[in-house]
Structure 1
Amino acid sequence: MEGGPIDSPSEVLVDRFVPLIDEIAQVIQEGGGQPLVVATSSALKDVPPSLRQRVMLEEVLQYREAVEEPAAAIVRERKALRPSAGEKLAVAFSGNDDPFIYGEALDGVEIQLDHIAQAPEISHLALRVSWPPSSRFRSFPPGGLIISTDRNMLLLYVGPYRPGISSQGFYLVYDARANSIAVIPPLPSRSLSMFSQCGIGTGGAILFHGVPGEYLLAELFLQRNRGRTSNKATLFMWRSSGGAVSCCWTQKEVTLPLPSGTTVRAGIEGRGLPVVHRSMCCIERGGGQMLKFVSVNGYGKCQDHRGLTINCWTTSVMVPQWQNVFSFRYGELEADSAVEFPRLMPTYPMLSIVDDIVMYITVAADLESTNGRPEDRGRYMLSLDTSRGRILSSFKLPATSGRVPVNILASTVSCYMKKTNLVSEVQHKHQKETDSSSSSAPTSAV
Structure 2
Amino acid sequence: MARSMVLLDREIDFTPHDEALSGRQFRWGFWEGRGLQTREARSDEVIKYLRTFKARAVVDNPPELSFLHILVPPQSLPLPPPFMDLDSGRISSTDKNLVALYAGGYRPGSSLSGGYLIYDARKDSLSVIPRLPSDDLHGVMGHQSAVVMCDAQGEGYVLAELIKKGFSQAGVWLWKSSAPQPEWVSLPGSHPLPSSRFTVDLCFSYRGSTLCWVDLLKGMFLCDLNQDCDNKFSFIKLPLDCPALDCNLEESSFINKFCTRPEEFRSMACVCDHIKLVSLDESGLELSVWTLLTDHSDWIETSKYNVDKIWANVNYQSTVLRQLIPSLPVLSIHEDGVVYLVVNDESIVDHRLDHKGQYLLRVDMKSNEIQISPQPTRRICYQLFASEFSAYRQHLQD
TM-score (normalised: structure 1): 0.64
8 Å Cα contact 2:2-2:392 kept in structure 1: no
**Corresponding position of 2:128:** 183
Answer yes or no: is 1:291 the counterpart of 2:267.
Answer: no
Show the 5 A alignment for 1:96-111: 100-101=44-45, 104-111=48-55
Structure 1, unmatched stretches of 5+, are 1-6, 28-71, 78-95, 300-304, 423-446
Give the whole-Å Cα distance in 2 for the aligned partners of 1:245 and 1:179: 23
**Corresponding position of 2:24:** 76
3-state SS, counterpart of residue 332 of structure 1? helix
**Corresponding position of 1:417:** 393
Q: Deviation digits for residues 399-427 of structure 1, max 9, x if unmatched?
A: 2x44x1415211111111254453xxxxx
Q: Kindly tell me: are residues 264 and 275 of structure 1, through their superposed partners in 2, closer, same or farther at Cα, counting changes over 3 Å?
A: closer
3-state SS, counterpart of residue 104 of structure 1? helix
3-state SS, counterpart of residue 13 of structure 2? strand
Answer yes or no: is 1:274 the counterpart of 2:242.
Answer: no
One of 375, 380, 387 as aligned partner of 1:397: 375
Answer yes or no: is 1:128 the counterpart of 2:71.
Answer: yes
3-state SS, counterpart of residue 161 of structure 1? coil
**Corresponding position of 1:435:** none
Give the whole-Å Cα distance in 2 for the aligned partners of 1:264 and 1:102: 40
Aligned-residue offset at 1:106 = 4.2
Aligned-residue offset at 1:382 = 0.5
8 Å Cα contact 1:18-1:125 kept in structure 2: yes
Aligned-residue offset at 1:98 = 8.0
8 Å Cα contact 1:341-1:363 kept in structure 2: no
8 Å Cα contact 1:259-1:322 kept in structure 2: no
**Corresponding position of 1:359:** 339
Q: Kindly tell me: are residues 259 and 176 of structure 1, through their superposed partners in 2, closer, same or farther at Cα, counting changes over 3 Å?
A: same
Answer yes or no: is 1:234 the counterpart of 2:177.
Answer: no
Aligned-residue offset at 1:282 = 2.1
8 Å Cα contact 1:311-1:327 kept in structure 2: yes
3-state SS, counterpart of residue 349 of structure 1? strand
Structure in which a larger fraction of residues adopt helix: 1
**Corresponding position of 2:207:** none
> What is the alpha-carbon root mean square deviation over aligned residues?
3.5
8 Å Cα contact 2:263-2:383 kept in structure 1: no
**Corresponding position of 1:155:** 100
**Corresponding position of 2:359:** 380
8 Å Cα contact 1:120-1:382 kept in structure 2: yes
8 Å Cα contact 1:328-1:389 kept in structure 2: no
Aligned-residue offset at 1:125 = 1.9
**Corresponding position of 1:14:** 8
8 Å Cα contact 1:379-1:397 kept in structure 2: yes
**Corresponding position of 1:211:** 153
Does 1 or 2 have the higher relative contact order (CA < 8 Å, sep 6+)?
A: 1
Q: Kindly tell me: are residues 148 and 245 of structure 1, through their superposed partners in 2, closer, same or farther at Cα, counting changes over 3 Å?
A: farther
One of 312, 326, 330 as aligned partner of 1:346: 326
Structure 2, unmatched stretches of 5+, are 26-39, 193-233, 250-255
Instruction: Count matched residues.
Output: 328
Q: Deviation digits for residues 71-123 of structure 1, max 9, x if unmatched?
A: x9x8239xxxxxxxxxxxxxxxxxx698853551343110022x311001111
Give the whole-Å Cα distance in 2 for the aligned partners of 1:396 and 1:294: 23
Give the whole-Å Cα distance in 1 for the aligned partners of 2:261 and 2:376: 23
Q: Kindly tell me: are residues 76 and 260 of structure 1, through their superposed partners in 2, closer, same or farther at Cα, counting changes over 3 Å?
A: closer
Q: Kindly tell me: are residues 260 and 352 of structure 1, through their superposed partners in 2, closer, same or farther at Cα, counting changes over 3 Å?
A: closer
Answer yes or no: is 1:246 the counterpart of 2:246.
Answer: no
Q: Deviation digits for residues 226-275 of structure 1, max 9, x if unmatched?
A: xxxx6x52222222218x87122424413532349979763459942110
Q: Which has the larger radius of gyration?
A: 1
Give aligned-pair identity as a percent.
Answer: 26
